[in-house]
Amino acid sequence: MSKSLYVSFGKKVTDHLGPINATMFIGAGALVPVMDFVRPHFPYMSQVAAVVVLFFVVLLVLKFVNTPANRVIPVSMVLCAGVCAGAFSVGAVASSRHAAQGGYLAATSEDAKALQSNLLRLERQTGDIQTTLNRIEAGKSDDPRVELRNIGVEWSEEGLRKSSRIGDLRALELFLRGGMSIYSSHDTSRTSFAVSVIANRSPRMKEQLQLLAKYG
């Protein structure tokens, strides 16, 4: 009978308890340094540690009050949870004390600091590239001529006048920002573009004249 019970308990430990404890140990051992290293991106190690400690406390209370009554929480599981809670707590305190330096690892290791700085720089560059791509997809660019091309408008006097005729204020402002002359190269009298806007009673005439005044 005792042998059968021993085999049954051993199988339970091998099949269930062992993997659970190993997972908690490995998880704590891996997550504590990783969370400290990525502190500039995820500064919530203290909150995670609080959750782990709470889990340990709940497990400990359940063990002492024998709840649920039909199940026994193994002592080794409680001890394992306690060790993990302690590891997270110590790691969170150490990381918080060196928060200004990017975490404990970055503050104590030049190699870790350099790697962290490189990753941050790479992330910023990736973010800048993505922002540029998003602006291009949205037809936006720091260069008015590029932005006009992105929205399918030709950089020419005709393009300027067509934008005015249909009341396209966005395109008109891009032409003015880009330095397009408001005087026609075919008009020897050098008549201002504003005169044409008024004479043709172009759509959104008031807004067009305000843009012309704004950009001189």
pLDDT at 179: 83
Query: In which band, very low, low, confident or very high, does the pLDDT at 63 lie, cut at 50, 70 and 90?
Result: confident
Angle at 198 between CA 197 and CA 203, to 5 degrees: 60
How far is residue 54's CA from residue 152's CA, in Å, rounded to a whole number? 59
So what's the pLDDT on residue 53?
92
Q: What is the arithmetic mean of pLDDT over 170-195?
A: 74
pTM: 0.51
pLDDT at 132: 63
Total length of the chain: 216
Secondary structure of 58-104 in the HEC alphabet? HHHHHHHHCCCCCCCCCHHHHHHHHHHHHHHHHHHHHHHHCHHHCCH
In whole angstroms, give the CA distance from residue 31 to residue 37. Answer: 10
Q: What is the band of 8 on the pLDDT scale with cuts at 50, 70, 90?
A: low
User: Is the confidence at residue 7, as pLDDT, over 50?
Assistant: no
Q: By the 8 A CB rule, do 182 and 193 touch?
A: yes
Q: What is the pLDDT of residues 155-166, one digit of tens each?
A: 888 888 888 888
Q: What is the CA radius of gyration of the chain?
A: 34
pLDDT of 4: 54
Rounded (5°) CA angle 162-163-166: 85
What pLDDT does 110 receive?
A: 87
Position 20 scores a pLDDT of: 77
Give me the residue spans of the domains in the chain. Answer: 2-109, 144-214
Distance CA 170, CA 162 (A): 12
